[in-house]
Each structure stands twice: as structure tokens, then as C-alpha cells.
């Protein structure tokens, strides 16, 4: 690690890209500009550090209610990552959602959830019971 | 998908697979692809998929499918491949006996009690969770104490919340995943408690399941008493010393209505014991050779019933091999028997398979006893490999190419994982 420069900020993240769990460091200059990213073992890690520093995002996998199926819950996920701050809000809003069997894997259950531009899709087929 | 229930069972199948979880599905696929058909898969749940059906989170398939899938997606991919083959699936069916002539007896509402003859049997029963009883937590016996996997089934499949305020004992991946899952569904998670000084789960799960939601992780701390008459009212937790003895003078109480225990898995081997299979005391699963053949002729095993895996991709890989081997057995094309026994040595808790052969390529799985930063894997004096780091929570896999053992002429090889000086 280089000698700390007084007015530079160093933030540390743990990469969640794969089970390796690289310890990442982001060095930020006085203008909140990223000077350097260290500690990654692959390009995905570098991209994760940059994203985590500027606009942290997560996949959300959860369930919604479903009627007429074998199980009362249907597993769903966000098609792509959404801003981390919205994860709990999105979960709360999904508690009001009830799907109706049959549902196919990949089918959109909620379009453009919370105006993120991201759809909520089913992660399995759920035939009628 | 998932509606492939058979109305009529045949009286004999070349291959019967016990359990339709990830191991059973991959084994059945391996067997049919190797030309053995029809295959009968038997599962006690109403649909195949096993534990994957309730593991709705992402993180599956990175090795096998090169993309990150949820559990149900991983299961469905396998099922879709399976349904292209001649495979009968008997769900809601309990296998109550497998005898030494490979007759499998099942019991189900659709078929009653039926005994089916099998050319080969694949044991893919998976594992069960350890419960409160396994670690003898003192206190009362109220409702609200359950395993993390039970809570997962309640929340993700059956649509019930287990409680309103939960404490989680054990920082294995299932415990961490459930800490996040309960939080997302509006349950307050007071904290995750881990008796060891280091977390048991992957660091990525510490970040995305605990840090993301400000759930505290208390290391070197355990639950020492459960209180409540009908329902859990509170638990007492206490830090532990180096020998993991609780320091009761430093104990404190936490009000909660739910205690989830996530304290490990045990291979489910009742049928293996009935069959008189040789059980490895280190894995608590059947001993297997390099084809996943057990100590009884025509009986193969794969997945968590053999040893506990960290990730499903490795289960699939191992089960595919078991399926192919079972097909080879049925068509009398089994390769020659193994000629080398593997002996777990320094810092090796166990290895699977327990025997290998000098003339084939092998993948050996093993688990270490304690963490090492820089280490060296040594196989007798014939092979060495540097490892970046090893921890008990992450299985080490070692691919051995056929030429590696050419110079070796003994009948046993010791595996050690040794500390290595920095380069």
C-alpha cells in the first residue's frame, strides 16, 4: 500500500462477485474522483469496486403470492441489479403482489418495478395445481 | 415442467435413483446420456428439485452454467434436460427399503407399497440439518426454535413467517442467507451468533446478507439458554473462551420469539446403513471408489449423502460421474477396480473418493481442518501443488491427470496440506 496522502480518502470493499471474496481498496482524490482501485483478482472485481463506490447495486431474489398453484409463493428476482437503497422498499411493495398460476420461468410479474426500469420476473414455472 | 409423475410404475428398471434433488437429477441425466434407460427417480417431496426449490437466492451455477442462477432456475434447467430422456419420476414417495439384491421398496399415495428391481441403485438422499438437540442448548422447549432450512421452507414455499424477532445461531451460509431473507420479509433479525472466532460462511455472504442490512455478527459467542413456556420469549447468549467454554458472567439476554439454528448438515444415510454399506467415519457418508461405487455391488452414491458440499455445481459434477458409472455397471462395462487407497494426513479432515486408480483421470475433493494462508498440497511424494489459501468452509478440489501417478507403485497415498513459506 502506498504512503497515505493526507487529503485522499481510502475506502475498502469486499467483492461479492464470486466466492474468492477479494479485499478491494478505492483511492479517492479531493474532487471525489477515483484515483486508483486495488486488490482485485479479475476485471469483475475492479468494476464491482467502482460501482460499489459510486452507485451500489444488488440483485433481489424474493417471493410474491400466487393463487391456483401447488405452493402459495412464487420465487421471483429482479432481471438486473437495482440500486441497493431500493431493495427494502421494493420488497415492501412486492408484498401487495399476487400472481395467478400458471406462470412460466422468466415471465414478467411486475414491469418497471418502482420506476427503476427493471422488471420482476418469475424464477420457475408454476403450473396450475 | 415438474409434472412428470408416472401413473404406472414398471416392476423393474435398469436404474433406480433414490432422491430427485440436485444429485439425483444429475445422476439420472448422466445415466441416460450414457445409454441406460429407462431410469426411475423417486422423491418424497411433491416435485423434483430437492433443496433447490426453496433456495430462491442467486449464486448457483457459476461453475456449471457459467452464469449466476437462483436455486429454482438451476433445478428447472436440469429438469428440462431430464424430461427429454426416458425417465419416470415418482414423487410423494418414500423409499422405505433397499435390499442387497437391489430391490427398492417405496410407499406413496399413488402407488401404495411397491417393490421394484433395479439393475443398479443410485443413492442421492442428500443431508439433514443438525438441530438444537445436536448441541444440547439448555432451557425450555417452546415453539419458535427451528433449523434455518425449516424457516426457509416456511417462508419461501409455504408462505409463513416463522416469527417477528429472530436470533440466528451459526454463521454458515444457510444462516446468513436466512438472516437476509427474514429481514426482506419484515422480520427483525437481532443478530447472528457464531461460537468460532471466524465466520463459517463465505465472505461475500457476510457482506451481502449481514453488512447490507446492518445485522450484527457476534463471533466467539453462543446461545447458552432458551426461555419461554409456549413460545420463545428470550435467549441468553454468552461469549466463549479459547476452548469454546461459555463465560456465563458476561452473558446477556435478548428478547425474541424465534431462534434459528444453522449448525451444520449430516448426510442422510439410513438406507445406506440398511444396505450395510461401509461408512467413512470422517465423512459420515458411504465410502466410494473413483467411480462413486459404494462397498456394495451395483450401489452408487453421490452428493451430500457422501459428503457435505459447499456448492451445488460440485454436487452435479460428482453425480454426473456416478450416473455414468451406474450405466456402465448395468451394461457390464465397468473399468478395472481402483488400486490406490487415499489416506487423509496433516490438516486433511477427509477426502472423497477414498480410493483411486493409476490409469484414469480423477477429481479428488477434500476439506482441511484449519485455515492456512499460503499452503502446499502434497500427494505422497508423487505430486505437489501450491494453494492460495485454504479454509474448512471451502472444499479443495484437485484434478489428477492420468500421467501423474505413473511413477507410483504402492497401494496407498497420503494427502497432506502443509504451511508454505512465502515465495
Q: Tens digits of per-residue pLDDT, B129-187?
A: 999 999 999 999 999 999 999 999 999 999 999 999 999 999 989 999 999 999 999 99
> Mind spelling out the 3-state secondary structure of A98-121?
EEECCECCCCEEECCHHHCCCCEE
Shortest Cα–Cα distance, A74 to chain B (Å): 8
Q: What are the pLDDT digits (tens) for B38-95?
A: 999 999 999 999 999 999 999 899 888 888 999 999 999 999 999 899 899 999 999 9
Q: Closest Cα of chain A to B343: distance in Å?
A: 28
Averaged over A53-78, what is the pLDDT? 96
Q: How far apart are CA A50 and CA B51, in angstroms?
A: 35
| Domain A61-122 superfamily per CATH | CPE0013-like (3.10.530.10)
B109 exposed, middle or buried (CB, 10 Å; 0-12, 13-18, 19+)? Answer: exposed
* Cβ neighbours of residue B370 closer than 8 Å, sequence gap 6 or more: B347, B392
Can you tell me the distance from the alpha carbon of B105 to that of B18, in angstroms, rounded to the nearest whole number? Answer: 11
All residues of chain A having their beta carbon less than 8 Å from the beta carbon of residue B72 are 75, 105, 123-124
Q: Is there a contact between B304 and B310 (Cβ–Cβ < 8 Å)?
A: no
Asked if B131-263 and B340-419 have one fold, the answer is: no
Cell of B218: 457476534
DSSP 3-state percent helix, strand, coil across chain A (nearest 5): 20, 35, 45
ipTM of the complex: 0.90
- Does B75 sit within 8 Å of A75, measured CB to CB? no
Listed residue (B128, B106, B90, B62) closest to B305, CA to CA: B128
Owner of C-alpha cell 473413483: B290
Number of residues that make up chain B:
423
Nearest Cβ partner for A84 among B202, B212, B394? B212
Mark which residues 81-110 of A lie under 8 Å from B by CB: 84, 87-88, 91-92, 95, 105
Task: Based on DSSP, count helices (H) and strands (E) in chain B, helices before strands.
Answer: 8, 29
Domain B340-419 belongs to what topology? Immunoglobulin-like (2.60.40)
Across B102-111, B243-252, B399-408, least confident range: B399-408
* pLDDT mean across residues, chain B: 93
Please give the Cα distance from B196 to B200 (Å, whole number): 8
What are the residue ranges spanned by the domains of chain B?
12-128+266-330, 131-263, 340-419
pLDDT score for A22: 85
Residues of chain A contacting residue B373, judged by C-beta atoms under 8 Å apart:
none
pLDDT given for residue B185 in this prediction: 95
CATH superfamily of B12-128+266-330: FAD/NAD(P)-binding domain (3.50.50.60)
Q: Which three cell numbers stand for residue A128?
A: 396450475
Q: Which residue has the cell 412486492?
A: A94
Is residue B69 within 8 Å of residue B60, measured between CB atoms? yes
Percent of chain B with pLDDT over 70: 98
Residue A18 at interface with chain B, using a CB cutoff of 8 Å: yes
What would be the CATH architecture of the domain defined by B131-263?
A: 3-Layer(bba) Sandwich (3.50)
List the beta bridge partners of residue B112: B108
Please report which helix (H) or strand (E) contains residue B191, including its range: strand B188-193
Q: What is the pLDDT of residue A2?
A: 53
| Distance in Å, alpha carbon of B272 to nearest chain A alpha carbon | 32
Cβ contacts of B133 within 8 Å, gap of 6 or more: none
CA closest to B212 among chain A residues: A84
Please tell me the least confidently modeled range out of A88-97, B105-114, B311-320, B413-422.
Answer: B413-422
Amino acid at each position: 500500500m502506498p504512503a497515505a496522502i493526507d487529503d485522499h480518502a481510502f475506502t475498502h470493499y469486499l467483492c461479492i462477485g464470486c466466492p474468492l471474496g477479494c479485499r478491494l481498496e478505492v483511492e479517492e482524490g479531493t474532487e471525489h474522483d477515483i484515483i486508483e482501485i486495488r486488490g482485485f483478482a479479475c476485471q469483475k472485481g475492479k468494476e464491482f469496486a467502482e460501482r460499489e463506490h459510486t452507485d451500489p447495486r444488488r440483485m433481489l431474489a424474493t417471493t410474491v403470492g400466487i393463487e391456483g398453484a401447488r405452493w402459495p409463493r412464487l420465487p421471483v428476482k429482479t432481471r438486473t441489479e437495482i440500486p441497493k437503497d431500493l431493495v427494502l422498499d421494493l420488497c415492501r411493495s412486492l408484498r401487495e403482489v399476487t400472481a395467478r398460476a400458471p406462470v412460466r420461468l422468466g415471465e414478467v410479474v411486475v414491469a418497471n418495478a418502482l420506476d427503476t426500469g427493471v422488471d420482476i420476473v418469475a424464477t420457475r414455472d408454476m403450473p396450475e395445481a | 415442467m415438474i409434472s412428470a409423475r408416472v401413473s404406472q410404475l414398471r416392476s423393474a428398471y435398469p436404474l433406480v435413483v433414490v432422491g430427485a434433488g440436485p444429485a439425483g437429477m444429475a445422476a439420472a441425466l448422466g445415466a441416460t446420456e450414457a445409454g441406460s434407460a429407462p431410469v426411475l427417480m423417486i422423491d418424497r417431496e411433491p416435485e423434483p428439485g430437492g433443496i433447490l426449490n426453496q433456495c430462491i437466492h442467486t449464486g448457483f451455477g457459476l461453475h456449471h452454467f457459467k452464469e449466476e442462477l437462483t436455486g429454482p432456475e438451476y433445478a428447472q434447467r436440469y429438469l428440462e434436460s431430464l424430461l427429454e430422456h426416458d425417465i419416470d419420476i415418482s414423487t410423494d414417495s418414500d423409499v422405505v427399503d433397499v435390499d442387497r439384491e437391489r430391490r427398492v421398496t417405496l410407499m406413496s399415495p399413488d402407488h401404495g407399497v411397491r417393490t421394484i428391481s433395479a439393475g443398479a441403485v443410485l443413492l442421492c438422499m442428500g443431508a439433514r440439518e443438525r438441530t438444537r438437540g445436536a448441541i444440547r442448548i439448555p432451557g425450555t422447549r417452546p415453539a419458535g426454535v427451528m433449523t434455518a432450512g425449516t424457516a426457509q421452507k416456511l417462508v419461501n414455499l409455504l408462505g409463513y413467517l416463522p416469527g417477528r424477532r429472530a436470533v440466528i445461531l451459526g454463521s454458515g451460509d444457510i444462516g446468513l442467507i436466512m438472516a437476509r431473507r427474514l429481514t426482506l420479509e419484515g422480520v427483525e433479525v437481532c443478530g447472528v451468533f457464531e461460537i468460532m472466532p471466524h465466520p463459517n460462511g463465505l465472505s461475500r455472504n457476510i457482506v451481502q446478507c449481514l453488512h447490507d442490512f446492518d445485522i450484527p455478527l457476534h463471533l466467539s459467542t453462543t446461545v447458552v439458554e432458551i426461555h419461554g413456556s409456549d413460545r420463545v420469549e428470550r435467549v441468553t447468549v454468552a461469549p466463549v473462551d479459547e476452548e469454546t467454554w461459555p463465560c456465563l458472567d458476561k452473558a446477556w439476554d435478548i428478547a425474541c420469539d424465534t431462534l434459528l439454528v444453522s449448525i451444520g448438515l449430516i448426510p442422510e444415510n439410513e438406507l445406506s446403513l440398511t444396505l450395510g454399506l461401509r461408512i467413512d467415519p470422517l465423512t459420515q457418508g458411504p465410502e466410494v471408489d473413483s467411480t462413486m461405487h459404494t462397498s456394495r455391488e451395483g450401489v452408487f452414491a453421490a452428493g451430500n449423502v457422501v459428503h457435505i458440499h459447499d456448492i451445488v455445481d460440485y454436487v452435479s459434477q460428482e453425480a454426473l460421474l456416478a450416473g455414468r458409472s451406474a450405466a456402465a455397471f448395468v451394461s457390464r462395462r465397468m473399468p478395472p477396480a481402483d488400486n490406490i487407497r487415499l489416506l487423509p494426513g496433516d490438516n486433511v479432515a477427509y477426502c472423497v473418493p477414498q480410493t483411486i486408480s493409476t490409469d484414469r483421470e480423477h477429481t479428488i475433493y477434500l476439506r482441511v481442518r484449519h485455515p492456512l494462508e499460503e499452503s502446499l498440497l502434497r500427494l505422497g511424494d508423487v505430486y505437489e501443488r501450491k494453494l492460495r489459501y485454504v479454509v474448512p468452509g471451502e472444499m479443495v478440489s484437485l484434478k489428477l491427470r492420468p500421467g501423474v501417478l505413473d511413477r507410483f507403485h504402492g497401494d496407498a497415498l497420503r494427502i497432506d496440506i502443509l504451511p508454505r513459506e512465502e515465495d
